[in-house]
Amino acid sequence: MDSPLDADIAARLSRGPDGLVPAVVQQHDSGAVLMLGWMDDEALHRTLTTGRATYWSRSRQEHWVKGETSGHRQWVREVRLDCDGDTLLVRVEQEGPACHTGADTCFAADLLLASPKP
């Protein structure tokens, strides 16, 4: 596979059948989980080299830079690969809301379970 990534990084990635790796996006200082995005090798390469979070849109089938149209940019502070090589953690400084709905996080609306304290 021809990849724009450093060969060592490319070799460690465990991509899905579609060539994508999920990217959990977290606010760097508070630890809040903001969103889940998808990256292919090119999106990860752009993220690592520009400092701007770049993702692969599964619906539009194209790369997109977070905040390019909305102004709600993500400035990358750190990128980590999990122990299996199949998930990325992207720690960012979020400018404005992270969710396309206008919420700070994409996980604000639907609480499925809240376990009571023992």
pLDDT digits 0-9 by tens, 85-101: 999 999 999 999 999 99
> How much of the chain exceeds pLDDT 90, in percent?
89
Q: CB burial class (10 A; 0-12, 13-18, 19+) of residue 20?
A: middle
Q: Given the structure tokens 């465990």, which residue do they identify?
A: 14
DSSP conformational letter for 82: -
Using the predicted structure, report yes or no on whether residue 59 has a pLDDT greater than 80: yes
For residues 18 and 86, the answer to whether their CB atoms sit within 8 Å is no
In this structure, whether the domain defined by 7-94 belongs to CATH 3.10.20.810 is answered with yes
> What digits encode the pLDDT tens for the residues 20-53?
999 999 999 999 999 999 999 999 999 999 999 9
Q: Which residues contact 96 (CB under 8 A, 6 or more apart)?
A: 67, 70, 71, 72, 73
